[in-house]
């Protein structure tokens, strides 16, 4: 359960409003790597975590902090929009002609939709969507996604910070940059902790690893003519999983399978020249029949009590 305190986590006061900058600032609120993304990603990972104690608490803690970050950013956003041009263009330009420059770059939905408040969108108005986040239940893969999100988020915050001289904005972003620095480490150390606690053996996701194609796990394939990629550590170091040497090979087909497809169902009107023989309606014959047969047999067995 959650509770709220009126004070923000950190001060969010710009020196002065700036509608142009506010349009760009939206990227930090509702962009692909904005704070809504880490907030929702950590909340879902936390609720879905099956290791109570330090792991679940840690994810819950950061999820809770990120709600507070979105709050800070929305307050900053609304303050940046104070007095933003939202009225009759002609009048505005008459009062101060250079304002025309601002008129082009501001976000019209800040005036039309949110009345001078933050929008749950990125800097080009794309609504935030849950296709940005993941919560897989597997802490290694999720921590990997989290490091990535924090690194990208920090880079974008950094780029945006360079677009303003406003000390108030920069002070808050100096805090956010630091949190992203810290959080990157948090997730990297989290992976190290998973190893120390015996949840994983290496930092590489290797579920079902016992039957993967061992050879293909050690090769870099060069698909570009004259590629120099074989010079990199990824082709000269040893495997982080089993210590065997990695190597580069030229990308080439490992099969003579040319991807020829089976005969189609004639009732679906797929263009076909008969090269795989006549197709049959997909109602109870062909491969499906085999699949269905298994089911039928089993239903019958269950009823008659017969066991093969």
The residue whose two tokens read 């956003």 is 77
Beta bridge partners of 222: 250
- With a CB cutoff of 8 Å and minimum separation 6, the contacts of 179 are 65, 69
How would you label 158-193 residue by residue, b for 16+ Cβ within 10 Å and e otherwise? eebbeebebebbbebbebbbebbeebbebbbebbee
Q: Among 83, 243, 277, 278, which residue sits at the site for its own copies (rule: CB under 8 A)?
A: 83
Return the number of the residue (38 or 139) whose C-beta is nearest its own copies. Answer: 139
Taking the complex as a whole, the smallest distance from the CB of residue 244 to its own copies amounts, in Å, to 11
* Binding status of residue 286 toward its own copies by CB under 8 A: yes
Instruction: Give the DSSP letter of residue 211.
Output: G
Taking the complex as a whole, the smallest distance from the CB of residue 209 to its own copies amounts, in Å, to 7
Taking the complex as a whole, the smallest distance from the CB of residue 102 to its own copies amounts, in Å, to 6
Closest CA to 157 of 166, 170, 168: 170
Taking the complex as a whole, the smallest distance from the CB of residue 79 to its own copies amounts, in Å, to 6
Q: Which of residues 61-80 bind its own copies (CB under 8 A)?
A: 61-65, 67-68, 70-72, 74-75, 78-79
Decide if 18 contacts 164 (C-beta within 8 A). yes
Closest CA to 23 of 89, 122, 98, 128: 122
Taking the complex as a whole, the smallest distance from the CB of residue 146 to its own copies amounts, in Å, to 8
Return the number of the residue (38 or 156) whose C-beta is nearest its own copies. Answer: 156
Taking the complex as a whole, the smallest distance from the CB of residue 38 to its own copies amounts, in Å, to 13
Q: Which of residues 3-62 bind its own copies (CB under 8 A)?
A: 3-13, 16-21, 23-24, 27, 30-33, 40, 43-44, 47-55, 57-58, 60-62
Q: Which of residues 157-176 bind its own copies (CB under 8 A)?
A: 158-165, 170, 174-175
142 labeled part of a ligand binding site? no
35 labeled part of a ligand binding site? yes
Q: Which of residues 112-141 bind its own copies (CB under 8 A)?
A: 112-141
Taking the complex as a whole, the smallest distance from the CB of residue 248 to its own copies amounts, in Å, to 9
* Binding status of residue 245 toward its own copies by CB under 8 A: no
Q: Among 167, 214, 244, 245, which residue sits at the site for its own copies (rule: CB under 8 A)?
A: 214
Q: Among 201, 244, 245, 288, which residue sits at the site for its own copies (rule: CB under 8 A)?
A: 288
Q: Using N-to-C axis directions, what is the helix angle for 54-80 and 19-30, rounded to 10°? A: 160
Cβ neighbours, 10 Å, residue 58: 18
Distance CA 272, CA 263 (A): 7
* Binding status of residue 234 toward its own copies by CB under 8 A: yes
**Reduced to 3 states, what is the DSSP secondary structure of residue 219?**
strand
Decide if 249 contacts 221 (C-beta within 8 A). yes
Q: Among 35, 167, 201, 204, which residue sits at the site for its own copies (rule: CB under 8 A)?
A: 204
The residue whose two tokens read 């677009």 is 163
* Apex 137 CA angle, 70 and 184, nearest 5: 50
Binding site per annotation, positions for Mn(2+)? 35, 66, 69, 150, 183
């Amino acid at each position: 359960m959650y509770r709220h305190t009126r004070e923000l986590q950190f001060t969010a006061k710009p020196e002065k409003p700036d509608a142009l900058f506010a349009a760009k600032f939206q990227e930090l609120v509702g962009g692909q790597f904005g704070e809504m993304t880490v907030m929702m990603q950590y909340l879902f990972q936390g609720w879905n975590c099956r290791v109570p104690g330090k792991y679940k608490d840690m994810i819950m803690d950061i999820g809770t902090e990120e709600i507070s970050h979105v709050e800070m950013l929305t307050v900053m956003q609304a303050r940046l929009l104070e007095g933003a041009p939202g009225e009759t263009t002609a009048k505005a330009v008459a009062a101060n002609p250079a304002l025309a420059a601002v008129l082009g770059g501001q976000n019209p939905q800040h005036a039309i939709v949110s009345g001078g408040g933050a929008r749950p969108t990125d800097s080009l108005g794309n609504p935030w969507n849950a296709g940005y986040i993941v919560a897989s239940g597997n802490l290694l893969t999720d921590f990997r996604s989290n490091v990535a999100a924090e690194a990208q988020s920090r880079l974008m915050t950094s780029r945006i910070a360079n677009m303003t001289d406003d000390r108030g904005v920069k002070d808050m972003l100096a805090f956010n940059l630091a949190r992203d620095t810290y959080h990157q480490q948090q997730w990297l150390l989290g992976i190290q902790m998973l190893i120390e606690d015996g949840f994983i053996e290496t930092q590489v996701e290797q579920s079902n690893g016992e039957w993967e194609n061992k050879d293909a796990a050690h090769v870099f394939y060069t698909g570009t003519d004259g590629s120099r990629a074989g010079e990199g550590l990824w082709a000269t170091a040893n495997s982080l999983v089993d210590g065997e040497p990695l190597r580069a090979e030229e990308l080439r087909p490992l099969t003579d399978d040319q991807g020829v497809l089976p005969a189609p169902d004639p009732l679906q009107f797929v263009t076909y020249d008969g090269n795989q023989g006549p197709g049959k309606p997909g109602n109870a014959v062909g491969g499906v029949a085999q699949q269905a047969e298994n089911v039928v047999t089993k239903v019958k067995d269950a009823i008659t009590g017969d066991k093969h």
